[in-house]
Amino acid sequence: MSSTPAADTRSVPATRPPTAAATAAIELQSVTRQFAGKRDVVVLDDVSLAIPRGEMIAIIGPSGSGKSTLLNLIGGLDRPTAGDVVVDGAHLARLSDDELTRVRRDKIGFIFQFFNLLPTLSSLENVGLPLHLRGWPRRKVDARARELLNLVQLGNRMTHLPEELSGGERQRVAIARALSIYPPILLADEPTGNLDTRTGGEILALIRDLHGRLGSTAVIVTHDMTVANSCGRTIALRDGRIVEDLRR
């Protein structure tokens, strides 16, 4: 297996002017997500949305508005009941489970509210885990993990276990892990929601800095209007529909 990160080999055809679809990193095309039960619940209702490459957007809305479901669909963690989700040119509804796993592995970095770090692994090992799963040699995994931990200002915490880190430090490790392959798309679900105001502000500043450096497309689900107002675009959901699309 080649050890070259997928992000290093992407190219954009230059043979014709890009269309809106060609320049979008993420597209939702008339997406509906319905959960069946004693009473069917429509969580997303005919949502269409295009997110250009390199954009940083916030998704806001009250609890139950469909924010996390939307993020899960973009991340290939769930499938729509109707419509299509296109991520970096891949039509997710047409992919097999194995193909969908490869899209998540190669194109998407996830940042979660509760960090999702493995408790028995050090910071270095948690960050390097996705690269081990890609078949990278140990020496290269170690070098990349060290590079990323230094990038998120945790060069002095590489051998620490999650329980030995503060909440902000755990989130920094989680961000470093999400960036392990320099993915073209970053998805963050309430990345500051489990942190105090000061630490949350530091994590937001870090995400913004990394977004600017790496040029990734970033989608952040949040209840925090400070986070939302820091993004160039805010999508508001209510009752499974987009009710506002604000650009700054």
Cα separation, 30 vs 85, in Å, equals 9
Cα separation, 77 vs 64, in Å, equals 18
Amino acid at 62: P
Query: Which pLDDT score is estimated for 10?
Result: 39
Query: Which pLDDT score is estimated for 7?
Result: 40
Cα separation, 10 vs 214, in Å, equals 14
Query: Which pLDDT score is estimated for 143?
Result: 95
Query: Which pLDDT score is estimated for 70?
Result: 95
- Are β-strands 56-60 and 233-238 bridged in parallel, bridged antiparallel, or unpaired? parallel
Cα separation, 9 vs 152, in Å, equals 24
Spatial contact of 37 and 213, defined as CB atoms under 8 Å apart: no
- Are β-strands 24-35 and 82-87 bridged in parallel, bridged antiparallel, or unpaired? antiparallel
Residue appearing with tokens 């620490």 = 160
Q: Write the DSSP symbol of residue 18.
A: P
pTM attached to this predicted model: 0.81
Contacts of 195 (CB under 8 A, 6+ apart): 167, 168, 171, 203
Per-residue pLDDT tens digits of the chain, which is 248 residues long:
444 444 443 333 333 334 444 478 999 999 999 998 888 899 999 999 999 999 999 999 998 899 999 999 999 999 999 999 999 999 998 999 999 988 988 889 888 878 889 999 999 999 999 898 888 999 999 999 999 999 888 999 999 999 999 998 998 999 999 988 888 899 999 888 878 888 888 888 888 888 888 888 999 999 889 899 999 999 999 999 999 999 98
Query: Which pLDDT score is estimated for 194?
Result: 79
Contacts of 54 (CB under 8 A, 6+ apart): 25, 215, 216, 217
Helix 167-178 with 197-214: angle, nearest 10 deg: 20
Name the superfamily (CATH) of residues 19-247.
P-loop containing nucleotide triphosphate hydrolases (3.40.50.300)
